[in-house]
């Protein structure tokens, strides 16, 4: 497993090998001082920093993989000073990386937030952590307190805690909450989307991307691109049918199989869900693929938010897909008809398929429902469900055929691999 980072090669998680969080002194010992400009709008520093991020090739680690330098360049042209929001909402139940960064390397995230704030001359920088994640909130609050005594902080950092719902971490949902409304996605016909908070444009950045910016600010773009064949490292959250689920920092392009091996799979792997619950199922043939967007494209997959869920022959793929769909339907914000009505209908029909209690026409019914929800919401929530279900039904096609023929598979009554968090009983959006 030569393509897995040795302890000494960790970047984001450097110094945390012993499972010890880095306090401010430890952080400085590992990463060194970060030099920030002493005056506002230091144009020389800003263009040097933008150049470094451009040279690094860094792309957003929240899922969209958009080049960070292009996004920043656009925001540097905004007329008013923006609000910068660092997104640690971690709505993906199978993702753990925001929590791991907050717990073990909080100062790296805060450094990155300061750098982004300075590049964009932000009016305000907020760190958004879901309110049902008190561990992350405590850790970041402690870290902010540690830094405040050092006279080092030039940017005020404030933690805010929106409700921890799946779509509350979608950037328009987060911006809506920051603007005083419910944490539900909004309709944005413009491309790129315009997000506003208190009359200012909002720049929302993923936590891992922000931490990467802190590293690039110290070591430069060339250094960043020196791992992963020019792509840098990324955090993989591996869970499911494994003995040791966890977050692993690996160079992008590392073989999917070698990442999964670190989590110690339990049985014979039958499929993997990549990206997130709204991601793509791939078959075990993809274990040989490089874990990067280019490497996964032939399999229809993408790195997305870094989620890798492993499924094995101990559970029924169709039952797993049905459960994820049901969970995702509860997490719909309920604003758009096709999502509010289509997701529960889809979940019901998938449950029927999982229980092999369906009529032969179910396959057509599923195809029709998927077409009716895909691309028809204000946000990508229904699209993600459609992508997950379509790819899952492909990967588990043999199981589906059996179920539709009235044969329950041996595993349909076994517990599902995926431990789904309970959907909130009371819908809380504010």
Partner 1 sequence: MALRLRVDPIACDGYGHCAEIAGELVTLDEWGYPIISDEVPRRLVEIAELAVRQCPRKALFLEKFEPRR
Judged by the rule CB under 8 A, the positions of this chain that interact with partner 1 are: 186-187, 189, 335-339, 341-342, 372, 376-378
Contact 250, 4 (CB under 8 A): yes
- Prior bond of 192 cis (ω within 30°): yes
For tokens 């969209």, name the residue.
64
Report the residue number, 266 or 365, with the smaller CB distance to partner 1. Answer: 365
Report the residue number, 166 or 396, with the smaller CB distance to partner 1. Answer: 166
Nearest CA-CA partner of 410 in 305, 316, 300: 316
Nearest CA-CA partner of 340 in 315, 376, 296: 376
Q: How far is the CB of 172 from partner 1 (least distance, A)?
A: 11
Q: Report d(CA 246, CA 236) in Å as an integer.
A: 8
Q: Report d(CA 315, CA 320) in Å as an integer.
A: 8
Give the E-state strand segments of 42-97 in sequence order. Answer: 83-88
Report the residue number, 383 or 424, with the smaller CB distance to partner 1. Answer: 383
Report the residue number, 253 or 278, with the smaller CB distance to partner 1. Answer: 278
Q: How far is the CB of 383 from partner 1 (least distance, A)?
A: 12
Report the residue number, 312 or 349, with the smaller CB distance to partner 1. Answer: 349
Q: How far is the CB of 369 from partner 1 (least distance, A)?
A: 9
Q: How far is the CB of 384 from partner 1 (least distance, A)?
A: 15
Q: Report d(CA 224, CA 56) in Å as an integer.
A: 5
Report the residue number, 134 or 337, with the smaller CB distance to partner 1. Answer: 337
Give the E-state strand segments of 183-228 in sequence order. Answer: 196-197, 200-206
Q: Report d(CA 355, CA 296) in Å as an integer.
A: 32
Q: How far is the CB of 373 from partner 1 (least distance, A)?
A: 9
Q: How far is the CB of 185 from partner 1 (least distance, A)?
A: 8
Q: Is the dihedral of CA 264, 266, 269, 271 positive or negative?
A: negative
């Amino acid at each position: 497993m030569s393509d897995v980072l040795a302890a000494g090669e960790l970047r984001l998680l450097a110094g945390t090998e012993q499972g010890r969080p880095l306090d401010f002194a430890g952080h400085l010992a590992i990463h060194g001082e970060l030099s920030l400009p002493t005056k506002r709008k230091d144009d020389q520093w800003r263009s040097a920093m933008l150049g470094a991020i451009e040279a690094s090739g860094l792309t957003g680690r929240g899922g969209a993989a958009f080049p960070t330098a292009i996004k920043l360049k656009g925001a540097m042209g905004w007329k008013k000073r923006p609000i910068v929001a660092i997104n640690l909402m971690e709505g993906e139940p199978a993702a753990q990386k925001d929590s791991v960064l907050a717990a073990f390397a909080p100062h790296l995230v805060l450094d990155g937030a300061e750098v982004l704030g300075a590049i964009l001359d932000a009016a305000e920088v907020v760190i958004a952590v879901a309110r049902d994640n008190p561990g992350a909130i405590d850790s970041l609050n402690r870290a902010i307190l540690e830094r405040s005594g050092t006279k080092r902080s030039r940017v005020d950092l404030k933690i805010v805690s929106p409700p921890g719902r799946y779509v509350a971490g979608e950037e328009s949902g987060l911006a809506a909450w920051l603007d005083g409304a419910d944490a539900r996605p909004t309709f944005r016909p413009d491309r790129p989307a315009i997000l506003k908070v208190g009359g200012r444009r909002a720049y929302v950045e993923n936590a891992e991307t922000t931490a990467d910016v802190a590293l690039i600010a110290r070591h430069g773009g060339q250094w960043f691109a020196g791992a992963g064949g020019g792509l840098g490292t990324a955090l993989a959250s591996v869970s499911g049918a494994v003995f040791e689920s966890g977050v692993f920092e690996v160079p992008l392009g590392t073989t999917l199989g070698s990442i999964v091996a670190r989590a110690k799979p339990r049985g014979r792997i039958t499929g993997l869900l990549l990206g997130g619950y709204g991601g793509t199922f791939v078959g075990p043939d993809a274990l040989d693929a490089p874990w990067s967007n280019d490497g996964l494209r032939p399999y229809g997959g993408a790195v997305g938010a870094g989620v890798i869920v492993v499924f094995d022959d101990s559970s029924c793929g169709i039952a797993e897909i049905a459960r994820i769909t049901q969970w995702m339907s509860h997490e719909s914000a309920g604003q758009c008809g096709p999502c509010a009505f289509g997701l529960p209908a889809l979940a019901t029909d998938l449950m029927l398929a999982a229980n092999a209690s369906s009529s032969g026409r179910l396959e057509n019914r599923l195809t029709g429902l998927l077409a009716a929800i895909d691309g028809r919401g204000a946000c990508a929530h229904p699209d993600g469900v459609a992508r997950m279900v379509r790819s899952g039904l492909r990967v588990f096609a043999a199981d589906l055929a059996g179920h539709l023929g009235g044969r329950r598979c041996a595993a349909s009554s076994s517990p599902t691999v995926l431990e789904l968090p309970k959907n909130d009983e009371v819908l809380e959006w504010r």
